[in-house]
Structure 1
Amino acid sequence: MQFASTARCVSLVRTQVERVLREWGHAPSGIETAVLVASELAANAVVHGHFPGHLFEVGMTSADDICLIEVSDSSPRPPEALKAGINDESGRGLQLVRAVALCTGQRPRRPVGKTVWAKVRMAKPHSRVAAPARLHATSRGAEAVEGRVP
């Protein structure tokens, strides 16, 4: 899924991730965790990885009870967990992701940028969609395209 690098699109990421995981048949408890992780990683992409004119991407794959969430942006700078003060309103996103995910990491993205990823344990899916939809999303909505979620 591709999104414009705006704060408004973080909400769209939450909506689209939840929709896709429901279509894949995952239970609500796992979906809530995956949506939280995708939202935090997307917010970081918007705040710290924004380059004018570049989109950020969210990809998901799911096998059995594990969902891999990947967020790619145009900044080559690796993510850095901040030490937020008690009164700070932000700066805890990566710590939160690391607390709820099975594992996290990052890798360079070619030709430019990086991909930050996290694996989340999901409740066993009830049923699977044979060919998940790939989405192209902007701040105005999303269009489904046949095929695998990138």
Structure 2
Amino acid sequence: MRAAEIESVQRFFEAHPESVRRAREFASTTLAGWDLAERIDDIRLCVSELATNALVHGTVADRGFLVRLEAEGDVVRLEVHDSRRRRPELCQAADTDLSGRGLVLVAALADGWGVQNRTPLGKIVWSCFKTAGRTTA
């Protein structure tokens, strides 16, 4: 991939539990198609965590969520868009907690992550992953 070349793809997922699996499959297929296999496992896990958060905490009135992947040079950016402004917080879950570890995993696996507001409503939770670039010409 040349430095100036940007590839971007996105897909909307309905507010259903099976959408998390579909979002992971979407990411895997996209990254394999871009010849960016080296970080597929890390990115798939982050897609799973962020999509689950969007489904459980970020969607209102069954609006669903959007997953966007962008590759530019040696960086893949993952975005999960949802319809609530409530910002997620990075916190350590207790051993007895049933949830609360998703953003800790994202922070550990990604080379950067953050949250930005989306207009007119909602937010984008993003994470970036450094790669070696495409494996083929």
Scaled to the shorter chain, the TM-score interval is: 0.7 to 0.9
Residue 101 of structure 1 corresponds to 110
TM-score, normalization by structure 1: 0.79
Unaligned runs of 5+ in 2: 1-10
What is the CA RMSD across the aligned residues, in angstroms?
Answer: 1.4
Q: Percent of counterpart pairs with the same letter?
A: 36
Any runs of at least 4 consecutive aligned residues in structure 1 with deviations exceeding 4 A, and if so which? none
Cα distance in 1 between the residues matched to 2:74 and 2:52: 25
Residue 84 of structure 1 corresponds to 93
Deviation, structure 1 residue 53: 3.2
Which of 44, 54, 58 is equivalent to 2:63?
Answer: 54
Deviation, structure 1 residue 87: 2.7
What SS is found at the alignment partner of 1:111? coil
Residue 34 of structure 1 corresponds to 43
What SS is found at the alignment partner of 2:76? strand
- 2:42 maps to 1:21: no
Residue 74 of structure 1 corresponds to 83
Deviation, structure 1 residue 36: 1.0
TM-score, normalization by structure 2: 0.86
Deviation, structure 1 residue 127: 3.5
Cα distance in 2 between the residues matched to 1:62 and 1:127: 15
Cα distance in 1 between the residues matched to 2:89 and 2:17: 20
Cα distance in 2 between the residues matched to 1:88 and 1:65: 37
Cα distance in 2 between the residues matched to 1:71 and 1:91: 18
Unaligned runs of 5+ in 1: 129-150
Cα distance in 1 between the residues matched to 2:48 and 2:20: 6
Deviation, structure 1 residue 96: 0.7
